[in-house]
Amino acid sequence: MEIAPALFLTGLIVGYFVLAGCDIGLGMAAPYLARTPAERRRLVSAIAPYFLGSEVWLVGAVGVVAGLFPSLKDVLFEGGMWAVSTVLLTGWLMRDAGLWLRARVDTGAWRSVCDSALVSGSWLLALSWGLIIGGLLSGGDPLTPFSLVCALTVAVLFLLRGAAFGAERLVPADGSASGHTGPATAPEADQAAWATRVLARTGLATTAVTAALVAFPGTGPAVDRPLLLAAVAAVPATALAITSGLSGPHLSRHTSAVAIAAVPLLAGALNLPLGTPPAGTLLLTGGAILPVLPLMVVGQVALHRMLRRPADDHGFFVTPPPQDSQPGRTVPVS
Amino acid sequence: MFEDPLLSARFQFALTAAVHYMFVAFTLGLAPYILFGQFRATLRRDGPRMRAVRFWGGLYIINYAMGILSGIVMELQLSLNWSGLHEMYGYAFGAPLAIEAMGAFFVESTFLGLWIFGWDRMGKWAHWCCFLVVTTTAYASAYWVLVSNGFLKHPTGISIEDGEAVIDDVGAMAANPSALLAFTHVTFSALLLGGAVIAAASAYHLRRGCDPDGMYQRGVRHGTALLLIAVLPTVISGGLQFIMYGQDPPSSGTTYSAEQIAAIEEGYGELSTAHALGISGDMVMMLSWALMLLVGMLSAGVWAFRGLGRWRWHLRLLAFVPVLPYAASVGGWVFRETERQPWTVRHHLTTADAVTDMSPLMATVSFSLFTSAFAVLGTVTAWLLVRFARLGPNAGPLAPPRVFDQDDEDGRTPVLRL
């Protein structure tokens, strides 16, 4: 029973990395994958539905840390980690604001401000996650060489996850390229699929550098369970190695998920001050959360099933289509 | 003020909480109305009514976005700037927050996502049920946050073991009178605020002669009715909270002795800036209530003479009414929070001990960063809300996609899909 809250927290954080990795990574890759207004519009409509369902995992995790593991906060929010957490929060705010506000005003300038917020926010998020993991492993200092390489590796893993996601979601809803003139194929999706291979190779290289730093005395992190660290780190390395040999996105959907899921688990190599929540706290939180657990599962499964299809052409987050289309056309409704 | 990290942390939290609550209150006030509207539209298969639901729903989501953004900042700010609270009271104060994040917000946001993207993709009743879940969890959220807040004001159901607060009576914690009274008050005042905004937006359009399918005539009636129903309970449940005034919390004396508590409160003084601010907040709230009661009686009279939604001077007046409940909400919170000073957890933890040990640089960076971000985002969201309320049902963010009739020769007659 004592391990249940810790497992719950781990599940939430791993869920966050796997699901939010898709939309954060695709946001990071936006300048490369989407260069024309129509492409950017499609990219945002691919991200937008996902982020609502994925960021709640992090909000839940922060809540669980606040309620059940208050002593974890000392590790996460002290000294240099305080600064990284503040940057992470800034990135989170920027990215969400960009996504929420982008479709509300129909001018190019507004959209480019929101796009910049989306891209820079996604990068800040990914890099600060890397610094947090690296900083934790370095004993609370996010500015060691090891932490910096860690940040780079995590950013590549996010990008890979985003590219694998983009290869599926950037395909138009129907063959006619979403109602307006354009090629029947989706060049962005092909580009994303191609990028998974490059990114997997880059990731493999940065993982190797990280491993070298660990082996090199003086630069490596001081962890309590080095064997576990090596074992967990071997997971993304293997996943990357599998993906790097393929040209298509077929496997990268799964390998990128496995690789990014291993990132937060690296912290398991540390003796984190988890503590055991007292009985009263467990009774209150367990009694209130367990009954709604089925609803959480149903909601998440339904949302992700509904969004599995290629992105829609209309909706809250989608800007109106470009004005150059001919009158009398039929807007497809799926 | 930046020389004193405590002061800037307090000011920062006050700003965050005030901005957050303004958007939360509208969320809470509008959700039941949308739920009710969508129920009627679905039951009667009434397309025009569903168009009204899409209009109010669009405003709901624009507003909800800022609620989430400010809520996230608030949740993390508690950890970043108020670590003392978590060291000693984490297991007690944090537990309801954990429930709020997991049990309420997680579900609320997921189902709101389903509702936004499910318009044309799921059964009409399944779609309505999504919003039922959103409404229920929005209120559950409010309840659990107020359990946390009530704990700060009136710590009950806990004992102190080795300098750490431990919940020993779950029931007392969840049924804290300070939380229950505040929840009742927040519920009614949010409905009042929702009613005022619905009436105001409807009045704006009616005054311009715009009333597609009678949606704004209904809106002005429903909004005024909500305002009339909620105004007295708001005042009463607000006034009831004064019975808590001066009552010592049951756990008083377990951290500090009665003499020490008296000394700390004596040292803080009666005439601090915080208390002065609190008294002004109280006055703003009372004045707004009085004006709302006046507007309520006036509107009831106008309604009795069948002038509601027709008399232009009254429509003009209604359009400005939302200023009052918003002012009352912020004023009320300033009053509630400053009244607790010098304590963060009453009779247990002083505000000065709760703040994170920050350097002035950290405090300045954090303050200027989030205050400017909030100023921008809050202003943009408020501007968007007013803009889309004015644009009406055809330009809203949830307006149905225009589908052009296949048989129509020039293909220019749009067909409404609902």
Place of tokens 């039941």: B32
Tell whether B13 is covered by a domain: yes
Q: Among residues A326, A49, A283, which one has the least CA distance to residue B119?
A: A49
The arithmetic mean of pLDDT across residues B64-72, rounded, is 89
Residue pair B210/B262 in contact by the 8 Å Cβ criterion: no
Chain A residue nearest residue B129, CA to CA? A299
Q: Is the pLDDT of residue B53 over 50?
A: yes
- The complex's ipTM works out to 0.87
pLDDT of residue B223: 93
B113-147 pLDDT, tens digit per residue, is 889 888 878 889 999 999 999 999 999 999 999 99
3-class secondary-structure state, position B98: helix
| DSSP labels, B51-90 | HHHHHHHHHHHHHHHHHHHHHHHHHHHHHHH-HHHHHHHH
What are the chain A neighbours of B61 within 8 Å (beta carbons)?
Answer: 316
**Cβ contact, residue pair B117, A49, below 8 Å:** yes
Average pLDDT of chain A is 81
Q: Which of A24-28, A213-217, A251-255, B49-53 has the lowest mean pLDDT?
A: A213-217
Q: How far apart are the first and last CA of chain B?
A: 54
pLDDT of residue A325: 42
**Cβ contact, residue pair A85, B90, below 8 Å:** no
Chain A residue nearest residue B377, CA to CA? A97
What are the chain A neighbours of B80 within 8 Å (beta carbons)?
Answer: 77, 82, 85-86, 89
Tell whether B251 is covered by a domain: no
Of A64, A74, A306, which is closest to B98 when you measure between CB atoms? A64
pLDDT of residue B271: 65
**Cβ contact, residue pair A73, B73, below 8 Å:** no
Of A56, A281, A328, which is closest to B91 when you measure between CB atoms? A281
pLDDT of residue B238: 86
From start to end of B128-229, where are the E strands?
158-161, 164-167
What are the chain B neighbours of A55 within 8 Å (beta carbons)?
Answer: 109
Chain A residue nearest residue B361, CA to CA? A83
3-class secondary-structure state, position A186: coil
Tell whether B215 is covered by a domain: yes
pLDDT of residue B3: 61
A120 min Cα distance to partner chain B (Å): 15
Place of tokens 């709760």: B354
Q: How far is CA B100 from CA B93, B125, B156, in A?
A: 12, 27, 19
Number of H helices, E strands in chain B: 14, 6
Q: Is the pLDDT of residue B2 over 60?
A: no
pLDDT of residue B83: 79
Q: Is the pLDDT of residue A168 over 70?
A: yes
Q: Is the pLDDT of residue A175 over 50?
A: no
Of B76, B91, B103, which is closest to A70 when you measure between CB atoms? B91
Of B79, B90, B133, which is closest to A77 when you measure between CB atoms? B79
In chain A, % of residues over pLDDT 90 = 20
The arithmetic mean of pLDDT across residues B182-191, rounded, is 93
pLDDT of residue A330: 44
**Cβ contact, residue pair B114, A302, below 8 Å:** yes
Q: Is the pLDDT of residue B158 over 60?
A: yes
The Cα–Cα gap between B330 and B324 comes to: 10
The arithmetic mean of pLDDT across residues A30-46, rounded, is 86
Q: Among residues B132, B143, B79, B74, which one has the least CA distance to residue B107?
A: B132
In chain A, % of residues over pLDDT 70 = 86
The Cα–Cα gap between B101 and B75 comes to: 9
Question: How many beta-carbon pairs below 8 A join chains A and B?
Answer: 222
Q: Each residue of B96-119: b (16+ CB within 10 Å) or e? A: bbbbbbbbbbbbbbbbbbbbbbbb
B212-261 pLDDT, tens digit per residue, is 888 898 999 999 999 999 988 998 888 888 887 777 777 777 777 777 77
B256-278 pLDDT, tens digit per residue, is 777 777 777 777 766 677 788 88
pLDDT of residue A327: 43
User: What is the number of domains present in chain B?
Assistant: 1
Q: Phi, psi at residue B350, to the nearest 5°?
A: -80, 155
Tell whether B260 is covered by a domain: no
pLDDT of residue A108: 86
Tell whether B102 is covered by a domain: yes
Taken in order of first residue, the domains within chain A and their CATH numbers are: 4-279 (1.20.1630)
pLDDT of residue A312: 67
pLDDT of residue B359: 78
What are the chain A neighbours of B91 within 8 Å (beta carbons)?
Answer: 67-68, 70, 277-278, 280-281
The DSSP H or E segment spanning B118 is none
Q: Higher model confidence: residue B115 or residue B82?
A: B115
pLDDT of residue A5: 84
pLDDT of residue B281: 87
DSSP code of B167?
Answer: E
The arithmetic mean of pLDDT across residues A272-282, rounded, is 80
B178 min Cα distance to partner chain A (Å): 18
A295-328 pLDDT, tens digit per residue, is 999 999 988 887 777 666 677 787 665 544 444 4
Tell whether B262 is covered by a domain: no
Q: Is the pLDDT of residue B294 over 80?
A: yes
CA angle, A88 then B64 then B58, to 5°: 135
pLDDT of residue A211: 79
Chain A residue nearest residue B115, CA to CA? A303
Q: How confident is the model at residue A124 (pLDDT cuts 50, 70, 90)?
A: very high
**Cβ contact, residue pair A71, B90, below 8 Å:** yes
The arithmetic mean of pLDDT across residues A77-85, rounded, is 82
In chain B, % of residues over pLDDT 70 = 94
Of A63, A289, A292, which is closest to B97 when you measure between CB atoms? A63
CA angle, A122 then A125 then A126, to 5°: 90
The arithmetic mean of pLDDT across residues A171-180, rounded, is 54
> Residue A48 is encoded by which pair of tokens?
């937008």
Tell whether B90 is covered by a domain: yes
In chain B, % of residues over pLDDT 90 = 30
The Cα–Cα gap between A310 and B335 comes to: 50
Q: B52: domain range?
A: 5-246+267-415
Of A49, A96, A285, which is closest to B95 when you measure between CB atoms? A285
**Cβ contact, residue pair B105, A333, below 8 Å:** no
Residue pair B51/B58 in contact by the 8 Å Cβ criterion: no
Tell whether B252 is covered by a domain: no
**Maximum separation of any 2 CA atoms in chain A, in Å:** 70
A76 min Cα distance to partner chain B (Å): 9
pLDDT of residue B132: 96
Q: Is the pLDDT of residue B410 over 70?
A: no
**Cβ contact, residue pair B107, A278, below 8 Å:** no
Chain A residue nearest residue B114, CA to CA? A303
